[in-house]
Amino acid sequence: MLFSRALIPTVKEAPSDANNVSHTLLVRGGYIRRVGAGMYDFLPLGLRVLKKVEGIVREEMDRAGALEILMPALLPADYFKESGRWDRFGDTLFRVTDRKGADLHLGPTHEEIVTDIARREIRSYRDMPRNLYQIQTKFRDEPRPRGGLLRGREFMMKDAYSFDATEEGAKKSYDDMRAAYMRTFDRMGLTYRLVAADSGAMGGSTSAEFQILADSGEDAIVACDSCEYAANVEVATVKAPPAAASGAAPAALTKVHTPKAKTIEEITAFLKLPASQMLKSLLYVAKDQVVMAVVRGDHDVNEIRLARALGVDEVFLASDADVTKATGADVGFAGPVGFKGRLLVDRAAAAVENAATGANASDHHYTGVSRGRDYEGEVVDIRLATTGDLCPACDKGKLKSYRGIEGGHIFILGTHYSAQMGATYLDEAQQKKPIVMGCYGIGVSRLVATAIEQHHDENGIMWPMSLAPYHVHIVTVGQDEAVIGAAKSLYHGLWSDGVEVLWDDRDERPGVKFKDADLLGIPLRVTIGAKSLAGGHVELKPRSERDPKKAELVPVGEATERVARMVHEALAPAPRASRTSVLPG
RNA sequence: CGGGGCGUAGCGCAGCCUGGUAGCGCACCUGGUUCGGGACCAGGGAGUCGGAGGUUCAAAUCCUCUCGCCCCGACCA
């Protein structure tokens, strides 16, 4: 592609609504443009990258034996009504009404639709296993779209669904998908962790997320530094600390005046105590009931675990008014001592002796608080795992925290949908049984942004070869005839070797071209200028090399072959040894 | 949905408080000089000031309503 004929509208200034690197660089590089909240145009370059992601996903799905189909994005409400999700999906579902007044919606995911295919077409155990997938635009009316391509209201997703006769079969399908996903993410050059995850509202059992590591990620995960345990903090457990009695002499319960010391930081500074000697008391609303959750001052409450401990679907942090009502004090002075109401105490918090905590009276705290004597409560595991915690899976490891972006999610659904929707088959014994399903998603358009989150520097994007819109970026300096001639020959030579080339043939100053080249992030740059060409050379520099002086001089005659070889080597499947994933047990 | 903020030229913003001729940078067009890391000079085109209503001699500016968007919290590929 000639730059002079392309539509690559680069801009110097970051868009005002961008708040992360990938969004900024995608817009600045002329890859995408925003159309509305969570809706984007893919300009030519952006579409090329999207298709690269799609292509890798498709190849690996096909390799794993999955069968590509395409279901409608516009769907009648019947299916979701049948499964109950028409109501349960809530506001996230984009609902539309047709001219006859019938309820329709735009598909956010397709379990019901694909289950309908299964119940009509799969009748025998001999028809399984099968795995059907599609790569399709999905619609979700997100409460808050953000991060450009990271969370849109319309986005591209690959969703696959497996159908098996037995649980064991489903497990095999699941394992196959896991392997296919690892290959997929490996080929995209992404660093990720495979983590245990909350199976959420989908009603699954076994489930894992592919978390692409990025500081800007929305998800917090922990991984063991010694074994292969890794989990979303939502579900991560921690080993209970050894119940070693501190031997400290029990202190008397003392009420101290702590004016305006509301946060843990303020109180620890005021009382000169480590946060681990503090008890943090938070009030939650669970089904109209206000409960108190107590964790150590240096820990955080895991709301999912708390909800589970309470036997409810979800909990919400109580409003300031509710806190005051329940404790009789301003927010910041709640504590377990004398609290009238359901009290849940984390294991680590319960073990703290002579603790300091709110006194349920404004501007006052207690010190010398110990469980058993000063308060009781139910001891449960309700805290978020964090760096330094003991690994629950092995003896010696400690957990370390990471941020991640969910790039894929695999799980076994079991017979949830099939039983509900009557997707059954006959087994060898003529018994009618529900099909055992699994489902597997990859956020295709999200991965475009995710790759940038992992591969960029202050000057722009640094695409992995497998995702780059073009493999090679030729920059010609000046309009000298010899330069143009050499560029033409290289350009055509590379294309006929299967290398995708962008040639910046514009009549621009070199600085402009170099800046744009860095911004676009095409992995290999070949600069052709009169000076080096007079010596019979062109200059080759990978985007990852920041120092322009380190460009390699390559004899013109060898350039085509040399560059083509580099591209093809970079595209070859990565050896297994270079994998960066961690497998949970 | 709760809290905060923003809608002014294609993009990024100032002007609003204290009403009176709509401005700056980038981008774009013309001419010239430049030409290996986002050049310079001169000239030029381009805006229903998000929308509706109101106050006023006069509204980008004040008031009311409305739409859209962004950011911080509860959801997810």
Q: How many residues does chain A have?
A: 585
d(CA A38, CA A147): 9
Question: Is the CB of A201 within 7 Å of strand B?
Answer: yes
Strand B: list positions under 7 Å from protein Cβ: 1, 11-13, 25-27, 34-39, 68-77
Question: Is the CB of A544 within 7 Å of strand B?
Answer: no
A294, β-bridge pairs: A281, A345
CA proximity to A65, closest of A583, A440, A448:
A440
Mean pLDDT of chain A: 89
Question: Is the CB of A580 within 7 Å of strand B?
Answer: no
CB of A123 closer than 8 Å to CB of A426: yes
Q: Which positions ≥6 away from A135 have C-beta within 8 Å? A: A54, A57, A58, A68, A156, A157, A158, A444
d(CA A585, CA A576): 19
Task: Identify the residues numbered 346 to 405 in chain A whose C-beta atom is closer than 7 Å to any atom of strand B.
Answer: none
Q: Estimate the share of chain A in helix, then strand, then coil, as percent rounded to the nearest 5.
A: 30, 30, 40
Which H/E stretch holds residue A177?
A: helix A167-187
SS3 state of residue A482: helix
**Span CA (A267) to C1' (B2), Å:** 28
Letter for the amino acid at A547? Answer: D
CB of A167 closer than 8 Å to CB of A436: yes
DSSP state of A66: -
Query: And the tokens for A371?
Result: 């469980």
Letter for the amino acid at A519? Answer: L
**Smallest CA–C1' separation from A529, nucleotide:** B36
**Smallest CA–C1' separation from A460, nucleotide:** B38
CA geometry: angle at A582 spanning A579 and A585, to 5°? 135
CB of A364 closer than 8 Å to CB of A325: no
**Smallest CA–C1' separation from A443, nucleotide:** B77
CB of A178 closer than 8 Å to CB of A64: no
Q: Which long-range contacts (CB under 8 A, 24 or more apart) does A488-496 make?
A: A489/A560, A490/A526, A490/A528, A490/A538, A490/A556, A490/A559, A490/A560, A490/A563, A493/A560, A493/A564, A494/A560, A494/A563, A494/A564, A494/A567
Looking at residue A247, its pLDDT comes to 66
Question: Is the CB of A442 within 7 Å of strand B?
Answer: yes
The stretches in chain A having pLDDT less than 50 are 200-203, 577-585
Looking at residue A218, its pLDDT comes to 84
Do β-strands A289-296 and A552-555 pair in parallel, antiparallel, or remain unpaired? unpaired
SS3 state of residue A355: strand
CB of A106 closer than 8 Å to CB of A409: no
**Span CA (A146) to C1' (B7), Å:** 19
Looking at residue A582, its pLDDT comes to 44
Q: Is the ipTM here above 0.90?
A: yes
SS in 3 state form for A383-431?
ECCCCCCECCCCCCCEEEEEEEEEEEEEEEEECHHHHHHCCEEECCCCC
Looking at residue A58, its pLDDT comes to 98
CA geometry: angle at A373 spanning A369 and A375, to 5°? 70
Question: Is the CB of A202 within 7 Å of strand B?
Answer: yes
CA A404 to chain CA centroid, nearest Å: 5
d(CA A100, CA A125): 41
Query: And the tokens for A19?
Result: 């708040």
- Residue with minimal CA–C1' distance to B75 is A143
d(CA A368, CA A26): 56
Looking at residue A57, its pLDDT comes to 98
d(CA A238, CA A218): 21
Task: Identify the residues numbered 20 to 79 in chain A whose C-beta atom is closer than 7 Å to any atom of strand B.
Answer: 28, 34, 36-38
**Smallest CA–C1' separation from A142, nucleotide:** B75
Looking at residue A81, its pLDDT comes to 93
Question: Is the CB of A483 within 7 Å of strand B?
Answer: no
Task: Identify the residues numbered 142 to 161 in chain A whose C-beta atom is closer than 7 Å to any atom of strand B.
Answer: 142-147, 151-152, 155, 157
Q: Which positions ≥6 away from A196 have C-beta within 8 Å? A: A207, A208, A209, A230, A231, A232, A235, A236, A584
d(CA A132, CA A479): 53
Burial class (CB in 10 A: 0-12, 13-18, 19+), A15: middle
A501, β-bridge pairs: A472
CB of A75 closer than 8 Å to CB of A105: yes
The Cβ of residue A350 has, within 10 Å, a number of other Cβ atoms equal to: 24
SS3 state of residue A5: helix
DSSP state of A375: B
Which percentage of chain A shows pLDDT scores above 90? 57
Is the alpha carbon torsion for A570, A574, A577, A583 positive or negative?
positive
Residue with tokens 């009382």: A271
CA count, 13 A, side-chain hemisphere, A515: 9
d(CA A232, CA A209): 8
The Cβ of residue A576 has, within 10 Å, a number of other Cβ atoms equal to: 9
Is the alpha carbon torsion for A63, A66, A72, A75 positive or negative?
negative
Looking at residue A199, its pLDDT comes to 54
Looking at residue A387, its pLDDT comes to 84
The Cβ of residue A544 has, within 10 Å, a number of other Cβ atoms equal to: 11
Query: And the tokens for A513?
Result: 């071209």
